[in-house]
């Protein structure tokens, strides 16, 4: 579950400024003659993540194509799950001749706040077909539950009958 935090507009502006600085740096760094026809061979990337609870099991799935499982580091501190790793290029980065390059290589780090009731001591990790899957049991009382809403008119009619 996510924390409810007070909105701080000045902090948001600082984040926007940092993002714009990074955008400008990346855009103009690719303006070299070689960079006009190919992207940087090594850049920052963030693997996609899916988190869900099904049948009392909290599951995290992370797409990691081309990542060697030996290059993964998984840690849990308190209620924060951190996954670090690196995808290495399978070719010499000095090699010329690339006209188009979309794949990103390099290190990544993702942190996920675990929902209340997840037993992080029972974590199980499986890497298959480029997807890392982490599963952790959850307590039944921590699972989302539905709450029925009564309508005032219906309650009054039941008492009259």
Residue spans of the domains in the chain: they are 34-142
Structure confidence at residue 36 (pLDDT): 46
More confident residue, 102 or 146: 146
Residue ranges with strand state E in 4-98: 49-54, 57-63, 73-77, 80-87
Distance in angstroms between the alpha carbons of the first and the last residue of the chain: 43
Please provide the average confidence, as pLDDT, over all residues in the chain.
78
Structure confidence at residue 61 (pLDDT): 96
- What fold is seen in the domain 34-142? Immunoglobulin-like (2.60.40)
How many C-beta atoms lie closer than 10 Å to residue 27's C-beta?
9
Structure confidence at residue 8 (pLDDT): 72
Kindly state the percentage of the chain with pLDDT values over 90.
Answer: 27
Residue whose C-alpha is closest to residue 106's, from 29, 35, 41, 43: 43
Q: What is the pTM of this model?
A: 0.59
């Amino acid at each position: 579950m996510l924390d409810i935090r007070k909105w701080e507009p000045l902090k948001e502006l600082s984040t926007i400024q940092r993002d714009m600085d990074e955008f400008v740096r990346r855009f103009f760094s690719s303006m070299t003659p070689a960079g006009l026809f190919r992207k940087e061979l090594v850049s920052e990337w963030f693997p996609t993540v899916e988190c869900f609870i099904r049948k009392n099991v909290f599951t995290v799935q992370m797409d990691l194509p081309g990542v060697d499982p030996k290059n993964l580091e998984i840690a849990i501190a308190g209620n924060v799950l951190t996954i670090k790793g690196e995808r290495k290029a399978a070719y010499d980065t000095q090699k010329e001749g690339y006209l188009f390059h979309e794949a990103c290589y390099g290190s990544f780090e993702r942190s996920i706040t675990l929902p209340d009731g997840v037993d992080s001591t029972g974590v199980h990790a499986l890497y298959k077909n480029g997807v890392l899957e982490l599963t952790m049991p959850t307590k039944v009382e921590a699972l989302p539950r539905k709450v029925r809403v009564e309508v005032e008119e219906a309650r009054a009619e039941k008492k009259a009958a």
